[in-house]
Amino acid sequence: MQLRCGLEPRALAALAVVLVGAAVFAAAHFWSARPEPVRAPDRVAEAAAVQDGGPGSPEGPPGLTPGPDPGARPGTAPGGQIVVDVSGKVRRPGIQHLPAGSRVADALRAAGGVRAGTDVSALNRARVLTDGEQVAVGMPAALPPAGATGAGGGAAGQGGPATPVSLGTATVEQLETLPGVGPVLAQHIVDYRTEHGGYRSVDELREVNGIGDRRFADLRPLVRP
């Protein structure tokens, strides 16, 4: 090349250095631009393992216990069910096993429905149930804690309904929610109403067969004409 191009040794050495540098630069550029494998994030890897039936999935190898379901509803029994106690004026009172997310209306249907004439206006039938709770239908209001005071405490302390019962429209079942009133006495109250065309005042309750002074005193704040 020195003879053909007429290059001096010093120029030839400089050209060789330039060529070597260009070759090194090209090799480095090619190496940095090569494709490299990318590791999938942990969440993607876990999802792929679940789809493939790997560890952590319900269908994984025997001996591996799947972790808790993050989507499980709180307040439910294992298996996606809840257990509630339906009591009071229903056809089949007792323990009911319902799917998670059931409402009060579902519990009433599972118990055979509400007995005819029962007032369910105090029940929120759209409320979602929780595991272990009790649904009381047509029962007297709960007694206040011992020593509780306040307005209306006398009426609540008798264990009567939350609102006064109408003597002019109440059914036998509704009258049975009053303290000390059973089926027979409730029927006497209805019979008196039928014979006399209704109740003009609460004091007429004294004239019903089976109601004495003491029972009348207990019932007076719990009823209205």
What pLDDT, on a 0 to 100 scale, did the predictor assign at position 101?
Answer: 92
One DSSP character per residue, 124-186 reads: -TTPBP-TT-EEEESPPPPPPPTT--STTHHHHHTT--SSPEETTT--HHHHTTSTT--HHHH
Give the model's confidence band at 22: pLDDT under 50 very low, under 70 low, under 90 confident, else very high. confident
Residues 102-131, mean pLDDT to the nearest whole number? 89
Sign of CA dihedral 149, 150, 155, 160: negative
Instruction: Write the pLDDT tens digit of every residue in 130-187.
Output: 898 888 888 654 444 444 444 344 434 444 556 888 888 889 888 989 988 888 998 9
To which residue do tokens 């070759």 refer? 23
Residue 16 has pLDDT above 60, yes or no: yes
What pLDDT, on a 0 to 100 scale, did the predictor assign at position 6?
Answer: 57
Closest CA to 111 of 146, 77, 80, 136: 136
What pLDDT, on a 0 to 100 scale, did the predictor assign at position 5?
Answer: 59
What pLDDT, on a 0 to 100 scale, did the predictor assign at position 61?
Answer: 46
Task: Compute the residue count for the chain.
Answer: 225
Residues 197-204, mean pLDDT to the nearest whole number? 88
Q: What is the DSSP letter of 64?
A: P
Confirm if 168 and 193 have CB atoms less than 8 A apart. Answer: yes
* % of the chain residues with pLDDT over 90: 16
* % of the chain residues with pLDDT over 70: 65
| CA distance linking residue 190 with residue 176, whole number of Å | 11
Confirm if 40 and 48 have CB atoms less than 8 A apart. Answer: yes
Residue 140 sits at φ, ψ, to 5 deg, of: -60, 155
Q: Angle at CA 144, nearest 5°, toward 139 and 146?
A: 135
